[in-house]
Every structure is written in structure tokens, then in C-alpha cells.
């Protein structure tokens, strides 16, 4: 009999694809994941891909994490996105004191966490904690999270404090999801079912022991996963979502091409030379981007395991690979959508959802085009702000 440890993250993901695909239309209509989808993901453990094993998480190696997220994205990009966000949020379990980590991540083995890393809130020092307030957009999966985090600038003696590095002190504040107000803002083109509304808190006290600085604090867990930069893990998770959407796009077009005879033609779409070339190029672009991502992640993992740290150059390469993957995935989906002709535009075709979802993913700041400039500056040895690298 299989034990939970013997079931790989990819196995868990494969068991979810049919369920998340079946719930995709309902999720789009509700602008949040279908209840059946959330229940299935909870039971699979994939919301806890990066939670430390000693707190009941999977602590999955990075390549296994991205393989699982990509597989789920074949069924529904929104479901995979929510898994990637929860997984990255779970990395904080490797930074927090043990008693806090156990309360947040171990007290409920089915719980998911989420939130927003951007320091858009304000945290006024008060006793051995902070009085916080703020509003954060893009709180993906907020409806199914038990705990949330929001980035805050620390205010002490009426002015922003400074971190050990001399930069403005910003910390992630963790708090129960029930303490936040959901502000309904998520009316968007793609990834509609992620429920990425704004979240807002006012006059909430958070103990310092439930806060983390991603700049100055060091992980307490010593496994390779917790040596990965948190923002780098977020970026590769997004890349995995985009790759899964691209894979679905190719598969959808191939199924359509085998059955469709375009108006005014006697040949099936699959018999057209132009479509054959588009599919071949798409398959090559997808495979090359996927191999590049896995190779870069593997090299980063080996560096963390061997050296106990990841160099600035390797962190830049990790972000570059993620950004490149998302760009290539969008190009693949564009080509498949075009090849599908008029059929692609209907809601009955998954190609239109693939198009909307993948282009929404391209807009995330962790993989958007400015990331290429940042990576290039590092690779050229130029001065750069690497605080979010």
C-alpha cells in the first residue's frame, strides 16, 4: 500500500486534473475556485507543497513542485495558480519560530495560506509587535485561505524604520484570514477563478513572532528548499502555470485539428501544412522552455545543497528562466489560438480560456518584462536593486 510519503507531488497533481477541469467553468462564473476543486486540492496536500515536512507539509523539491503545478494547469490555470501561491506562502513556515509555525501550518492539516508580499501596508511598532493597517491587491485564493500575510513598512517613532541592510524596513505580517476584509475587485480577463480580490485590514495587532523580513531574516529550516529565494520560488511557480496552460493549448489544437474541416476546404485542419508547422514550432518552443526551466532549477537546487547558499548570479538566472518560460508559453498559446480559427473564440473552446489565462500570467511582476532588465544588469555586473531577486 502506498504511504503518503511514497505518493509524489506529480501523482497527486495527476489525480486532480479531471476535477479541476470539470470545475473550471463554475470557477470562472463565481470568480473563485469551485468548492469541489478546493476540497480536492486540500485533500491532495498540494496547497502545502512548500510547508516544512515537520509541520505536515510536503517540503517538495523545487522541480517536483513545478511539475505538479504544471500538471494541474493542464486542467485549469486558475487552480494551478492558487496552488503556486499557497505553496510559496508555505515557505514562511521555514522562517517562523516553531510555535508560531505549528499554529499556522500544523494545527489544521488541510489549511492553506496566502496573501501579498508587496509592502503596501503600514506597521507601527507597539510593544512586542505591530499595529497594522493596509490594503493589498491580488490576494489570490483569499476565499479558501485560513491564514494571510501582507507586506508592511515598519513605522517607528513616527517614521519608517531601517533594516540591517540600511533599506526601509518592511516585514511580512501573518494573521488569521478572518481578520481581513475582502474588497471585491476581481473582474478581469483571465485567471478569473483565482479570486484575487483586494484584502484590507485596519487596526490589527500582530506579534513580532508572526512577522518575517525576507531581506534580513534567515530561514530556520536548513533544507535546500528554504535556501531558495522566496521571490524566485514564486516566479518558477508562475512559470509552471504558464507551461501547463501552453501544454493544454497544444493538446486542444491537436484534438480540434483532427476533427475540423474549415469552411470552404475539403481537408481537415490537421492536413494543412501551415498548421502542421505551427504545431511543430509550438511543441519545440514549449519543450525548450520547459527544459530550460527544469535545468536552471536543478542547478539552483544543487548549488543550495552543495554550498548552503545561492549566488546572486544564479538567482538572476532562476528569474530569467521563469520569465522566459512565461513569454514562450504565451507565444505557444497565441499560435494555437490562431490555428484554431473561428472555433477558438467560443466559450465552448478551452483555447479562448488558455489565451486569457496565459496573458494574465504574463503581467505578474515576478515574470514581467522588467525582470529581464534586472537579470541582464546582474549578468553584466552592473549595479542593481536585487532585494526582490
pLDDT band at residue 159, thresholds of 50, 70 and 90? confident
| Per-residue pLDDT reduced to its tens digit, 353-363 | 999 999 999 99
Report the pLDDT value the prediction gives residue 308, as an integer from 0 to 100: 94
pLDDT at 165 over 80: no
Report the pLDDT value the prediction gives residue 333, as an integer from 0 to 100: 98
Please give the angle made by the CA atoms of 365, 368 and 372, to the nearest 5 degrees: 115
Report the pLDDT value the prediction gives residue 263, as an integer from 0 to 100: 84
Question: What mean pLDDT comes out for the span 42-48?
Answer: 97
Report the pLDDT value the prediction gives residue 253, as an integer from 0 to 100: 98
For residue 301, give the nearest of 229, 373, 225 by alpha carbon: 225
**Which single residue is written with the C-alpha cell 508587496?**
118
Tally of CB atoms within 10 A around 377: 15
pLDDT band at residue 4, thresholds of 50, 70 and 90? low
Tally of CB atoms within 10 A around 389: 18
| Per-residue pLDDT reduced to its tens digit, 130-156 | 999 999 999 999 999 999 999 999 998
Report the pLDDT value the prediction gives residue 3, as an integer from 0 to 100: 43
pLDDT at 2 over 50: no
pLDDT band at residue 388, thresholds of 50, 70 and 90? confident
Distance separating alpha carbons of residues 98 and 95, to the nearest angstrom: 9
Burial of 97 (0-12, 13-18, 19+ CB in 10 A): exposed
Report the pLDDT value the prediction gives residue 157, as an integer from 0 to 100: 85
Question: What percent of the chain is predicted at pLDDT more than 90?
Answer: 91
HSE value, Cβ hemisphere, 13 Å, CA-based, for 64:
15
The residues spanned by each domain of the chain are: 4-94, 113-212, 228-379
CATH for the stretch 228-379: 1.20.140.10
Which CATH number is correct for 4-94, 1.10.540.10, 3.40.50.720, 3.30.420.40, 3.40.50.300? Answer: 1.10.540.10
Q: Rounded to the nearest 10 degrees, how much is the dihedral formed by the CA atoms of 190, 195, 200, 206?
A: -120
pLDDT at 283 over 90: yes
Q: 113-212: what fold?
A: Butyryl-CoA Dehydrogenase, subunit A; domain 2 (2.40.110)
pLDDT at 20 over 60: yes
Question: What mean pLDDT comes out for the span 189-218?
Answer: 96
Report the pLDDT value the prediction gives residue 166, as an integer from 0 to 100: 72
Please report which helix (H) or strand (E) contains residue 225, including its range: none
Report the pLDDT value the prediction gives residue 1, as an integer from 0 to 100: 31
Report the pLDDT value the prediction gives residue 266, as an integer from 0 to 100: 84
Question: Strand, coil or helix: what is 228?
Answer: coil
Compute the mean pLDDT over every residue in the chain, rounded to the nearest whole number: 95
Distance separating alpha carbons of residues 82 and 140, to the nearest angstrom: 6
Kindly report the backbone phi and psi dihedral angles of residue 310, in degrees, each rounded to the nearest multiple of 5, phi listed first: -120, 125
pLDDT band at residue 5, thresholds of 50, 70 and 90? low
DSSP state for residue 263 in the 8-state scheme: T
Question: What percent of the chain is predicted at pLDDT more than 70?
Answer: 98
| Per-residue pLDDT reduced to its tens digit, 327-361 | 999 999 999 999 999 999 999 999 999 999 999 99
Contact 281, 287 (CB under 8 A): no
Question: Strand, coil or helix: what is 241?
Answer: helix
Amino acid at each position: 500500500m502506498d504511504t503518503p510519503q511514497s505518493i509524489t507531488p506529480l501523482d497527486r497533481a495527476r489525480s486532480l486534473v479531471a476535477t479541476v477541469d470539470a470545475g473550471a467553468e463554475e470557477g470562472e462564473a463565481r470568480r473563485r475556485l469551485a468548492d469541489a476543486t478546493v476540497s480536492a486540492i486540500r485533500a491532495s496536500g498540494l496547497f502545502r507543497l512548500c510547508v516544512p515536512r515537520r509541520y505536515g507539509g510536503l517540503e517538495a523539491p523545487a522541480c517536483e513542485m513545478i511539475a505538479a503545478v504544471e500538471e494541474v494547469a493542464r486542467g485549469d490555470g486558475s487552480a494551478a495558480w492558487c496552488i503556486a501561491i499557497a505553496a510559496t506562502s508555505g515557505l514562511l513556515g521555514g522562517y517562523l519560530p516553531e510555535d508560531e509555525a505549528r499554529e499556522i501550518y500544523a494545527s489544521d492539516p488541510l489549511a492553506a495560506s496566502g496573501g501579498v508580499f508587496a509592502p503596501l501596508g503600514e506597521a507601527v511598532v507597539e510593544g512586542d509587535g505591530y499595529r497594522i493597517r493596509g490594503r493589498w491587491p491580488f490576494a489570490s485564493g483569499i476565499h479558501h485561505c485560513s491564514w494571510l500575510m501582507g507586506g508592511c513598512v515598519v513605522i517607528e517613532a513616527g517614521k519608517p524604520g531601517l533594516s540591517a541592510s540600511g533599506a526601509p524596513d518592511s516585514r511580512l505580517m501573518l494573521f488569521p484570514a478572518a481578520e481581513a476584509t475582502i474588497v471585491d475587485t476581481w473582474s478581469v480577463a483571465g485567471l478569473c477563478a483565482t479570486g484575487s480580490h483586494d484584502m484590507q485590514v485596519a487596526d490589527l495587532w500582530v506579534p513580532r513572532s508572526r512577522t518575517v523580513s525576507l531581506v534580513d531574516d534567515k530561514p530556520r529550516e536548513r533544507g535546500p528548499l528554504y535556501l531558495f529565494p522566496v521571490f524566485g520560488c514564486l516566479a518558477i511557480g508562475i512559470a509552471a502555470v504558464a507551461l501547463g496552460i501552453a501544454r493544454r493549448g497544444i493538446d486542444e489544437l491537436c484534438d480540434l485539428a483532427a476533427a475540423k474541416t474549415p469552411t470552404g476546404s475539403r481537408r481537415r485542419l490537421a492536413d494543412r501544412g501551415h498548421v502542421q508547422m505551427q504545431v511543430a514550432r509550438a511543441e519545440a518552443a514549449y519543450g525548450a522552455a520547459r527544459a530550460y526551466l527544469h535545468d536552471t532549477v536543478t542547478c539552483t537546487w544543487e548549488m543550495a545543497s552543495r554550498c548552503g547558499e545561492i549566488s546572486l548570479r544564479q538567482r538572476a538566472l532562476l528569474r530569467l528562466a521563469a520569465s522566459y518560460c512565461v513569454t514562450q508559453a504565451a507565444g505557444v498559446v497565441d499560435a494555437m489560438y490562431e490555428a484554431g480559427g473561428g472555433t477558438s473564440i467560443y466559450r465552448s473552446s478551452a483555447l479562448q480560456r488558455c489565451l486569457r489565462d496565459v496573458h494574465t500570467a504574463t503581467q505578474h511582476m515576478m515574470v514581467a518584462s522588467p525582470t529581464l532588465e534586472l537579470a541582464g544588469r546582474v549578468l553584466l555586473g552592473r549595479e542593481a536593486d536585487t532585494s526582490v531577486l
